Structure 1
Amino acid sequence: MTQILIVGATSAIARGCAFAWAKQGQRLVLAGRDMAELERISRDIRLRFASHVQVAALDLDDADQLSARWDDLETAHGHMDGVLMAAGWMPDDSDAMRRDTPALQVLARNFTGPVALLNAAADAFAARKHGFIVGIGSVAGDRGRQSNYVYGAAKGGFSIYLAGLRNRLFADGVSVLTVKPGFVDTRMTWGLPGLFLVADPMVLGEQIVSAQAAGKNTVYLPSFWRLIMLIIQHVPEFVFKRLKL
């Protein structure tokens, strides 16, 4: 039986993955900042699937302490066989583009914090020659757009980090999956203008778990986003900079 740490477990995508893994009988450790919500989700999973679920407090804003926090988690809950990094934060970019705290928080919660924790996980998995990592990126990281370029920069950096980690860990038998969702029906996207083809996070959870089991490297979800982003990436810069995206 596999034990999986789900970071950012209160997110809708993380919950979809948790349900999919729980159906398989996997052991879960749900980690995040909102302990009351984590407890609620864990009770729901136990009732639905009779699964072994634990919860743990984890704050990615405190990057300097995350290596030690990984050790604490394994001491308290046992060795992890996999990690889903689903934490993230997307504020209104008019806030994120200011010079003070919001932009730095976007980078901390979407990039530097996840990297700090996954570095510790990668070291542990490499030493054991066993394990997997799933990182939730975003199509926003494929090209900078004026509407969310701080968030996009963090997610783009995270995707590059995961690609390098996949290269590093391949020889150790550790898989790394990068997931790039498009618009998903979550708290982060609720009420945003201009959304279309919004995906169900429960369906995405099933697809993410299947992609990990199949040994995929990078997946766009839903899959049509690969074509959409390919087109966006190939728009010439002299045209793209004039667009209101």
Structure 2
Amino acid sequence: MSAPTWLVLGASSSIARAFALEAAAQGCNVILAGRDRDDLDRGASDVRIRHNVAVAVVDFDAEVVDTHDAFVGEVTGLSTGFGTGPLNVFLAFGLMPDQSAIDADPDQAQRTIMATYAGAVSVLHRLTPILEKQGTGHVVALGSVAGDRGRIKNYVYGSAKAGLHAYLQGLRNRLFRSGVTVTTVKPGFIDTTMTWGMPGLFLVASPQACARACLRYAAKGAEVRYFPAFWWIIMTIIRSIPEPIFKRLSI
């Protein structure tokens, strides 16, 4: 069988770039998708030179849903051209403005939900019939610990991630019947451009470690995982705080 292909959605992010390199190191072909074409082209060259696998670049914007049908058609053609190996999906995009910026400009709330949740549903739902037909493969999507409870500091972004978590749970149930696994990864603080400069960060993990973990979770057919794993303990405690107490906390 030909090597698997990983479609990396949001491939300009630090975790996605690391994921593409880790997947290629395992002999997988890679399709990089995102908005920054120059960055994607540089990333594709890096993957190709380091690991000598098939790499392609496709323009993708999560917020422009009327382009998603054509996008999925292009991805299908590229994957078929790479060989008979299955198509896998790694979803790594999202938008996280400061909550204060959203409060000052409510249009930012709509953009956050569109880029983080609605755009993800749009593209994944279009890819799902392809995954069902091939009868194997993996979907790995980056959720967030922010989606586990609405917090005053980022409740719009958290609500978008919570919606994504629920969608992925339903998608997992659907694709299970076709032999396709769906893994939700809930990272804590990762050293990325999204978190750079944020106050109060602690125990920050590297994008490379997160990418390697995502590949391990996919290989095991994991369902929901926190990364690093100790975030499961932290979020279990946070979820257990009664609402009358929680609303008085500045977390």
What TM-score do you get using the length of structure 1 for normalisation?
0.96
Q: CA–CA distance in 2 between the matches of 1:67 and 1:176?
A: 21
- Determine if the alignment matches structure 1 residue 230 to structure 2 residue 232: no
2:138 is matched by which residue type in structure 1? Answer: F
* 1:113-164 CA-partner distances (Å, limit 9, x unpaired): 0110000111111122222211100000000001000000000100110011
Instruction: Kindly report which structure 2 residues correspond to 1:10-159, keeping only aligned pairs within 5 A, or say none.
Output: 10-78=12-80, 81-98=87-104, 100-159=106-165
- Asked whether the equivalents of residues 79 and 87 of structure 2 are also in contact (C-alpha less than 8 Å), the reply is no
- The answer for the alignment partner of 1:168 in structure 2 is 174
Runs of 4+ aligned structure 1 residues displaced above 6 Å come to none
1:241 corresponds to which of 220, 239, 247 = 247
Counterparts of 1:151 and 1:235 in 2: how far apart (Å)? 20
Distance (Å, rounded) in 2 between the aligned partners of 1:151 and 1:220: 18
Q: Using the TM superposition, give the Cα deviation of residue 39 of structure 1 relative to its aligned residue in structure 2, in angstroms.
A: 0.8
| Secondary structure, aligned partner of 1:119 | helix
Given that residues 130 and 172 in structure 1 are in contact (C-alpha distance below 8 angstroms), is that contact kept between their aligned partners in structure 2? yes
**Gap runs ≥5 in structure 1:** none
Cα offset for 1:71?
Answer: 1.7
Contact 2:56 2:78 in 1 (8 A): no
Structure 2 distance, partners of 1:57, 1:68, is 10
CA distance in 2, matches of 1:76, 1:175: 22
Letter in 2 for 1:94: S
Q: What is the percent sequence identity of the aligned residues?
A: 42
For the pair 1:198 / 2:200, whether they are aligned, the reply is no
Question: Aligned equivalents of 1:46 and 1:64: distance in 2?
Answer: 31
Question: Secondary structure in 2 aligned to 1:87?
Answer: coil
Supply the RMSD in Å over aligned alpha carbons: 1.3
Code of the aligned partner of 1:89: L
SS in 2 for 1:78: helix
- Which 5+ residue runs of structure 2 have no aligned equivalent? none
Question: What is the aligned residue count?
Answer: 245
Query: Could you report, residue by residue, the CA deviation over 1:89-132 in whole angstroms, capped at 9, with x for unpaired residues?
Result: 11111122345321111001100001100001111111222222
